[in-house]
Amino acid sequence: MNLTVWGTRGSFAAPGAEYVGLGGNTTCIEITAGAGRLIIDLGTGSIPLAASLVAGAHGRGASLSILLSHTHIDHIQGLPFFSPFFIAGNRIRILGPSTADAPLEHLLQQYLRPHHSPLHGLENLAATVTVDEVDCGTDLTVEGFTVRALPVLHGHATALGFRISDGRRTVAIMTDVDGHDDNTAQLATGADLLIHGATILDGAQSSIAAAIALAERAHVPRVILTHFAPGATDAAILAAITAAAATTSIAVSAARESFPIPL
């Protein structure tokens, strides 16, 4: 299994010299194993990923599955610019959360509505696109992976965390999580890697400390942090992670945009 974080920022993209080491694109993660591929979230990081996909099979017509953790803008900002949507013959399935607000497909349509996007709606994409709300808590088979999704605490929004396995390795992914509960424990328990958001770098609310505590409880040997705040510089992030890593035997590091992570 290989994993690449294409967007390491939460909330808002961070152009500028202070952010080029870890990256300034909003969130997107790619997981590959054999011929299988999963994409998690469509922040601006999905746009450079899209270019590599269209250079291959998705330039001619192929299937693709995208998991959306939720519809905050930093997770869907790349949707109107994700080039596989503009290739006829591509079959793209979007799987995301059910919310009390509105059906997922309706929320994505609202993002593309004519006032705000010249695409006017999902129906104008050349690819065949289906949008499904994920059945939480059951093991689904998607592109050869076993995927379990569960809602995690994230303000007053429903955000999904994921547990993804290729049969040999398992990764738990929770980029937007404000606290830990039975669901995050279930997603993480026994995983080989925890990908965790790091919006807050230090203090009592530190996301890094919360990630390490979860990994220790759930027996996860390795943590990679991502989804950094837009104002957090490379230097500040690396200093906070180095300090936190010294307190644990778990391997803790920062995601770097577009660098492959073998698992």
**241 is an interface residue for other proteins by CB under 8 A:** no
**Candidate segments 55-63, 65-73, 132-140, 240-248, binder of other proteins by CB under 8 A:** 65-73
**115 is an interface residue for other proteins by CB under 8 A:** yes
- What pairs with residue 152 in β-bridges? 159
**114 is an interface residue for other proteins by CB under 8 A:** yes
Least distance between other proteins and beta carbon 158 (Å): 9
Give CA–CA dist 108/75, Å, rounded.
11
Q: Print the binding letters for residues 42-61 with other proteins: x by CB under 8 A, - otherwise.
A: --x--x--------------
**80 is an interface residue for other proteins by CB under 8 A:** yes
* The one among 65, 199, 206, 226 contacting other proteins by CB under 8 A: 199
**Candidate segments 98-106, 131-139, 143-151, 236-244, binder of other proteins by CB under 8 A:** 98-106
**118 is an interface residue for other proteins by CB under 8 A:** yes
Indicate the pairing of strand 157-165 with strand 91-96.
unpaired
* The one among 41, 176, 250, 254 contacting other proteins by CB under 8 A: 176
Least distance between other proteins and beta carbon 59 (Å): 16
Least distance between other proteins and beta carbon 208 (Å): 17
State which residue, 178 or 202, has the beta carbon closest to other proteins: 178
User: Cα separations (Å) of 65 from 15, 128, 141, 219?
Assistant: 28, 12, 11, 29
State which residue, 163 or 227, has the beta carbon closest to other proteins: 227
User: Cα separations (Å) of 204 from 27, 32, 88, 151, 153?
Assistant: 25, 36, 50, 24, 17
**179 is an interface residue for other proteins by CB under 8 A:** no
State which residue, 60 or 113, has the beta carbon closest to other proteins: 113
State which residue, 90 or 165, has the beta carbon closest to other proteins: 90
DSSP the chain: -EEEEEE-BSSS---SGGGTTT--PBPEEEEEETTEEEEE--STTHHHHHHHHHTTGGGT--EEEEE-S---HHHHTTGGG-GGGGSTT-EEEEEE---SSS-HHHHHHHHT-TTT-TT-SGGG-SSEEEEEE--TTS-EEETTEEEEEEEEEETBEEEEEEEEE-SS-EEEEESS-SS--HHHHHHHTT-SEEEEE-S--SSTT-HHHHHHHHHHHHT--EEEEE-B-TT--HHHHHHHHHHHHTT-SSEEEE--TT-EEE-
**Candidate segments 58-66, 116-124, 133-141, 166-174, binder of other proteins by CB under 8 A:** 116-124
**204 is an interface residue for other proteins by CB under 8 A:** no
Residues that bind other proteins (CB under 8 A): 9-17, 19-20, 23-25, 44, 47, 71-74, 77-78, 80-81, 99, 101-102, 107, 110-111, 113-121, 124, 154-157, 176, 178, 199, 229-230
